[in-house]
Chains A and B, each alone.
Chain A
Amino acid sequence: MEYQHDVEINGEGKYLNICKHNGLCKKEKDSKDDTDSNKLSHIEKAYTTILGELGEDVDREGLLRTPLRAAKAMQFFTKGYKETTQDILNDAIFDENHDEMVIVKDIDLFSLCEHHLVPFFGKAHIAYLPNKKVVGLSKLARIVEIYSRRLQVQERLTKQIASAISEALEPAGVAVVIEAAHMCMVMRGVQKINASTVTSVMLGTFQDNPTTRKEFLELTLRK
């Protein structure tokens, strides 16, 4: 399955072409449609158990349909598993004689921590140096959506976004910076409300040339 392969290889820290498995995913997707409702009911039952074990009364009015709502919400939060970059990017790559930096910043990002199943959210800033090919701007935000709507680790998320853009456009350089607040740190555990985590990936010219990197950081992070 696409996600599994993706993740196994990710464990080794290699950049990979997620799109390779596109055909397989589509075929599997069709046959999985009737088992999707099965999965939903399994998740729903699991949530009913959870509510009971937490000491709540599952039959009270406010909680009657909560297992179903929570299951659907969780499926929405992980809808990125069913999407691939090839699906959304194919039409929106254009030939353009532009080789200056293109930045899309302050892209709101919402993901789920894979360790605690608790949200983390923040902003992603993406920049690339086109090499004869530019991409529709909203597609950068859609790439963020695909990878963030999964059970994630912020480091891996940053890298996946960068490598997806790198493979689709073959630009001279890609830079991705994510700053996020992790509810698993804010709401529980060490409970530090104002802490935010920043991760970045610099590829190509952004990695080799400090001036390029500095220009990106200044344009992006200046308040």
Chain B
Amino acid sequence: MEHSKQTQFSSSDKKDAGASSVVNGHCDGMLKRAAGGSSQPPAAESGSQRPVMESWREDRTRSVEDNEMSLPSLAAAYTTILRGLGEDPQRQGLLKTPWRAATAMQFFTKGYQEKIIDVLNDAIFDEDHDEMVIVKDIDMFSMCEHHLVPIFGRVHIGYLPNKRVLGLSKLARIVEIYSRRLQVQERLTKQIAVAITEALQPTGVGVVIEATHMCMVMRGVQKMNSKTVTSTMLGVFREDPKTRDEFLTLIRS
């Protein structure tokens, strides 16, 4: 029963993983290098047939060599932007700004260069522990995919192990891989939850993110103190209200 519950739980996540990897584009390494035309329809089909472990084996869409090769055109694009804004790219303070801004942007999207499987492989341990494990207040920095402006906040992760536990810093590393991308907070929350699910097959996972969006604070509606909270509850966190309550209380304390 335990097993069938788990299978049911993971197969629904498989669909989730398939769906989210199509929407996010970069989860499916095929998109950038597709042979012809838009590759989204074929990816959607193959997504649903993909085995459970797929999202943590996703290909990188970028490599360190790609970074070096992209730098000149990124810098040229930033020079155009500076000129378009009415600044003088030749003045002393701005001379090397295109290169610095390009390198900074590559750093803010370095999640595209990393694979979950590389980060997690060694740190899954067999442990006879089935009580909740929580890592909270993980500082998170991401980029809004709509305005290319920072998002920052905290992530709280809890899971109920099922004979396998994960090295604690690896939870923070999973957060890093997915947050250092062009993101939407809802998708980020789900990707973290799904990655942990697929790596550990735990009884349940809960992820809560509270973040401040600079696109709302610095521009647009300009509400200084507003925060956005999203959560994903999987497995027993979703089905059992008491477990969920315990998790939410512990992250508040």
Contacts and interface: CB of A to CB of B under 8 A. Distances in A.
Partners in one complex: yes
Contacts of A202: none
Given A43-B80, A114-B97, A117-B101, A63 B150 contact: no
Nearest to A7: B91
A46 B40 contact: no
Given A53-B70, A151-B94, A108 B86 contact: no
Interface stretch (B2-10, B124-132, B197-205, B210-218): B210-218
A119 interface: yes
B85 interface: yes
Contacts of B40: 60
Nearest to B40: A60
A115 B86 CA distance: 16
Interface in A48-76: 49-51, 53-57, 59-63, 65-66, 69-71, 73-76
Contact of B108 (A4, A74, A187): A187
Nearest to B215: A73
B48 to A, nearest CB: 18
Contacts of B218: 77, 110, 119, 121
Interface centre among A3, A69, A76, A186, by most chain B C-beta atoms within 10 angstroms, is A69
Interface in A160-219: 183-184, 186-188, 193
A221 interface: no
Contact of B88 (A4, A45, A61, A116): A4
A14 interface: no
B66 interface: yes
A46 B77 contact: yes
Contacts of B219: 73, 76-77
Contact of B104 (A3, A70, A117): A117
Interface centre among A4, A8, A74, by most chain B C-beta atoms within 10 angstroms, is A74
Given A50-B74, A70-B148, A73-B147, A57 B26 contact: yes
Given A54-B70, A119-B149, A193-B139, A46 B97 contact: no
B108 A63 contact: no
A119 B214 contact: yes
Interface string A132-144: 0000000000000
Contacts of A54: 62, 70, 74, 105-106, 109, 112, 182
Given A61-B23, A116-B104, A151 B87 contact: yes
Contact of A108 (B38, B112, B146, B224): B224
Interface string A79-110: 00110000000000000000000000000101
17 contacts: A47-B77, A53-B70, A54-B112, A55-B61, A57-B32, A62-B25, A70-B149, A71-B84, A78-B85, A81-B86, A82-B86, A116-B100, A151-B97, A153-B93, A183-B152, A188-B104, A188-B108
User: What 9 pairs between A and B have smallest CB-CB spacing?
Assistant: A55-B62, A53-B70, A46-B77, A57-B25, A43-B84, A117-B101, A60-B25, A70-B148, A46-B80
Interface of A: 1, 3-4, 7-8, 11, 39-40, 42-43, 45-47, 49-51, 53-57, 59-63, 65-66, 69-71, 73-78, 81-82, 108, 110, 114-119, 121, 151, 153, 183-184, 186-188, 193
